Copies of this chain bind each other. A is one copy, B any other.
């Protein structure tokens, strides 16, 4: 018998989606932040994603319920943002024990609604079922012009690597209070200057390899350039930053930087460079040394 805990989340998902098949209207299947489907006749694609948050794993029972709601909806909105999509509809499955305080649920919904309305999205349905602990399963859709979704697979050697904000120490509060980078994601997609994009949920050192693997590239990260809260190690490994991570061809970086400053009034931090495939993921230390960056991620199920 093979246990889920021995296989690990990513390998289990890889094996489960292997048998799903294909479809003429499915442009991008499982493996990116969202699935991308054609909406024939509209000139649009529709993107789909889903994310669970579970008591004692993604939040603590005594957490402020509006913040739990913000996180539940925010994770899904962040996945939509990672494609450059405009958020559309959300559905929510709630699992809870019979002794669940109902006012807490109402406040969780208030938190989800507030974030949805901020980005023109809306909760349109869902279900409520009995179970051993509080869980929220949020499903979301968004739209964008056909063929314009920013995928993990588009990075090219020589691209600069960028993030939309500082990384690390999210457990001090940001993992519940973050604002998903919806406006930034749409802006970056509309700029036409970005090759690949995803959002950082498991930490830079764990998530960047997803772009590298799907793009068939390596990368060098500049230790000194990574914007961070706390230490470099925290910026690389903490996770739940929900910033966007993306790559831009060298000749387009100046143009993007200008547009970004004009729109958001900040500098766009370049944190590294995409490298050819064979070179893996390395970290350039302040003394110029290149160290292989090891994966040390929080992965569901995998123990030790």
Given contacts A2-B102, A48-B124, 5 further A-B contacts (CB under 8 A): A20-B124, A54-B95, A57-B130, A98-B301, A131-B133
Chain A residues 88 to 110 lying within 8 A of chain B, measured CB to CB, are: 89, 91-103, 105-106, 109-110
Chain A residues 69 to 94 lying within 8 A of chain B, measured CB to CB, are: 89, 91-94
Q: Chain B residues with Cβ under 8 A from A26's Cβ?
A: 89, 122, 124
Chain A residues 1 to 51 lying within 8 A of chain B, measured CB to CB, are: 1-5, 7, 9, 12-13, 15-17, 19-21, 23, 26, 29-30, 34-35, 37, 39-42, 48-51
A61 on interface, CB distance cutoff 8 Å: no
A129 on interface, CB distance cutoff 8 Å: yes
Q: Chain B residues with Cβ under 8 A from A125's Cβ?
A: 29-30, 34-35, 48-50
A284 on interface, CB distance cutoff 8 Å: no
Whether the Cβ atoms of B110 and A52 lie closer than 8 Å is no
Contact with B along A158-171 (1 / 0, CB 8 A): 00000000000000
Question: Looking at chain A, what size class is its interface with the partner chain?
Answer: 35 or more
Whether the Cβ atoms of A4 and B98 lie closer than 8 Å is yes
Q: Chain B residues with Cβ under 8 A from A4's Cβ?
A: 96-102, 105
A300 on interface, CB distance cutoff 8 Å: yes
Most chain B beta-carbon neighbours within 10 Å: one of A4, A35, A39: A4
- With A3-B102, A39-B39, A128-B9 known to touch, is A20 a contact of B122 (CB < 8 Å)? yes
A240 on interface, CB distance cutoff 8 Å: no
A231 on interface, CB distance cutoff 8 Å: no
* Cα(A186)–Cα(B99), bound, Å: 41
Cβ-neighbour of A130 out of B48, B98, B301 (below 8 A): B301
Name A57's closest neighbour in chain B (CB-CB).
B130
- With A105-B12, A113-B21, A301-B98 known to touch, is A30 a contact of B129 (CB < 8 Å)? no
Question: So how many copies of this chain end up in the complex?
Answer: 2
Contact with B along A107-146 (1 / 0, CB 8 A): 0011001000100001111111111110101010100000
A303 on interface, CB distance cutoff 8 Å: yes
Q: Chain B residues with Cβ under 8 A from A105's Cβ?
A: 4, 12, 16
* Cα(A33)–Cα(B67), bound, Å: 30
In the complex, how many angstroms separate the beta carbon of A11 from the nearest chain B beta carbon?
9
* Cα(A189)–Cα(B125), bound, Å: 22
* Cα(A91)–Cα(B49), bound, Å: 8
Whether the Cβ atoms of B39 and A126 lie closer than 8 Å is no
Whether the Cβ atoms of A300 and B130 lie closer than 8 Å is yes
- With A41-B41, A106-B16, A125-B34 known to touch, is A52 a contact of B3 (CB < 8 Å)? no
Whether the Cβ atoms of B131 and A54 lie closer than 8 Å is yes
A-B contact pairs, 26 of them (CB 8 A): A1-B103, A3-B99, A3-B100, A3-B101, A4-B99, A4-B101, A4-B105, A5-B97, A5-B99, A12-B102, A13-B127, A19-B110, A29-B124, A30-B124, A30-B125, A30-B126, A42-B42, A48-B89, A49-B91, A50-B93, A50-B126, A51-B127, A128-B300, A131-B135, A132-B132, A137-B137
